[in-house]
A and B are shown apart, each in its own frame.
Chain A
């Protein structure tokens, strides 16, 4: 069985405390602390030691998707706080400008496959370049991104075949045509038939933008999609 949880960014954008409050007491063992916008990163790093994360057996951090307020070096320093705690850092490959800043993260650097808007990191061939750069890096499979790039799901199968042994966590949501993360629907359940059985048991981070009353149903939909 997978371990399920949410991205704090999906629940409350940069307000990770509020998101953790929403998750408190629920039967969820995974969480991804989101600092998708770089200005959110310093506060998250400062709070790393004081966050109430006892209920979670898996914690990861989502690195900023681009660096505008912080330099890449500064961001790397903030994120190394989490690496020292043994938490994987999920990285969008197109955000990396100077690969040397991330070499020291080892297998805790988790490279995510990208959606169709991005210029790199979308397909197995594009991702392979990054894993050549970071041979130890792990893989974060975003199933919604993979489905958007190839709705037939053939590419998702290919990603699992090529990088399944590196897989550390899964991102799950449903994307609309504007690439917005939407709640899971029956359509995702149907699309993941066949793919789900090939996934190793890892943490599943739900990225759907849902409000609190929808949270339990969203987890239920994720379980149905991946475990039937």
Chain B
């Protein structure tokens, strides 16, 4: 640890001192100042004093892990993900890795690659955590959205502000958890909703669950109650009254109960949101990823009939159908809640259904379509075995899961040069977040109960217009951007509609 000095990165614009070690830190990530938003150049962030010294420590830790777990492996320096060959399937992660050449007789089965090729970002993260360096967090630039912003000559300031606020709030919750050691081993505090989507607005509640992927222990319930209390004391709004969030959730149900009578509304909600809008706050990030990969494995492996003739990138039907089902379920539940709760918060739920809830469906649809329309390089290879192909499909989907729904949608817009549609989509989404961030407008929407009253209310009228603009943008993107045979429209009609 001596090699790392507690240097802070100083913003050349505003002078704010900070360290570039957020939870999602990547050595090559573009970073922005947490205070003024200045975008650091690589020279400003990857300075010899900070990252190079950290890099040596990260390498050392990676080497230690490799030596411990793969005795005899020859460590060969920092490199990119090894190329896949028939006898050496590609590991699931991309990006910088500490590469080890294995001894004769050792092989590269996927689980070994997952476990032993240590992404340097993970090492960096543990170092930063260890040194307690992360206070004000410089925020990695959301690349696809940033690129779109430039192309559309827009600022989308509310989206940006929500992203920064989300990072700050997550860091705050992490500190609360750490100070009381509230997260036991084999569990993780998984956050959903706006805080996970980088869309935190002042009035958001915190949707969380203590995800258990290990031995069931009677203390888990008490721990979850302690977490609830700690968040309440910190003035965070509690999750909604449905009981989906704010307690303990076991991996077993998420993995095994997909479809059928046992797959309750609650279980479906948790599973789909885990895939589309979740993140871990606090320790044991691996718990979430473990569960996600198991769920993805279920989706992909149970799609057997779609890859029986050839192992080519395909639309994962099981996954897509689950996403579609969830979207329709949300819409049906919207009507049920309106009835059950006598219209309480009807207007704001309507607005959210048409905007952020719809975004979840769209992101899920993008993920499914991307397997066919924009498969990763790995997914386009020839595969010798079904296991390798499934593994590549899981990797592809898992890489997308690491992004927020907005980023997934932004990437699709970029992929299809859909600037006009993107402008409609993200400008309206920015306006949506603007309404939620404004306490007056949000309060007004929360007060509205009767549809008749809402329809003549200026705030609700504005909200409806925003939702219409958003829908117009989505229609443009999916149905007017690429109308070639087998293109985006073709795929959206075939798989999104019929």
Contacts and interface: CB of A to CB of B under 8 A. Distances in A.
A213 B1 CA distance: 11
Interface in B192-227: 214-215, 217-220, 222-223, 226
B181 A184 contact: yes
A68 interface: no
A50 interface: no
Contact of B214 (A177, A184, A185, A214): A177
A185 B184 contact: yes
Interface in A180-212: 180, 182-188, 190-191, 211-212
Contacts of B181: 183-186, 217, 221
Given A185-B181, A190-B223, A176 B186 contact: yes
Interface in B208-262: 214-215, 217-220, 222-223, 226
A38 interface: no
Given A177-B214, A191-B219, A186 B185 contact: no
Contacts of A182: 185
Interface in B146-188: 179-186
A228 interface: no
Contacts of A214: 130
Contact of A186 (B132, B182, B186, B218): B182
A175 interface: yes
A190 B222 contact: yes
A174 B184 contact: yes
A11 to B, nearest CB: 12
Interface in B100-159: 130-132
A177 B131 contact: no
A175 B219 contact: no
A186 B223 contact: yes
Contacts of B180: 186
Contacts of A191: 217, 219
B130 A211 contact: yes
A152 interface: yes
A175 B185 CA distance: 7
Contacts of A221: 181
Nearest to A152: B218
Contacts of A104: none
Interface residues of B, number: 21
Contact of A187 (B1, B131, B179, B223): B223
A177 B219 contact: no
Contact of A213 (B131, B182, B218): B131
A174 B180 CA distance: 15
B215 A187 contact: no
Contacts of A187: 184, 217, 219-220, 223
Given A185-B184, A213-B132, A176 B214 contact: yes
Interface string B65-91: 000000000000000000000000000
Contacts of A176: 185-186, 214
A99 interface: no
A142 B220 CA distance: 21
A151 interface: yes
Contact of B219 (A184, A190, A211, A212): A190
Contacts of B130: 211-214
A35 to B, nearest CB: 18
A24 to B, nearest CB: 16
B223 A185 contact: yes
A188 to B, nearest CB: 8
A35 B182 CA distance: 32
B185 A174 contact: yes
Contacts of B185: 174-177, 180, 182, 185
B18 to A, nearest CB: 19
A151 B1 contact: no
A161 B183 CA distance: 31
Contacts of B218: 151-152
B184 to A, nearest CB: 4
Contacts of B1: 211-212
Contacts of A217: 179, 181
Contacts of B132: 213
A10 to B, nearest CB: 15
A185 B186 CA distance: 11
Interface in B332-381: none
A69 to B, nearest CB: 15
A214 B129 CA distance: 10
A42 to B, nearest CB: 22
Nearest to A187: B184
Interface in A78-112: none
Nearest to B227: A186
Given A151-B217, A174-B184, A184-B181, 6 more contacts: A151-B215, A177-B185, A185-B223, A190-B219, A211-B130, A217-B179
16 contacts: A152-B218, A180-B185, A186-B182, A186-B223, A186-B226, A187-B184, A187-B219, A187-B223, A190-B222, A190-B223, A191-B219, A211-B1, A212-B130, A213-B131, A217-B179, A221-B181
Which 4 A-B pairs have CB atoms at the shortest separation, nearest pair first? A176-B185, A187-B184, A177-B214, A190-B219
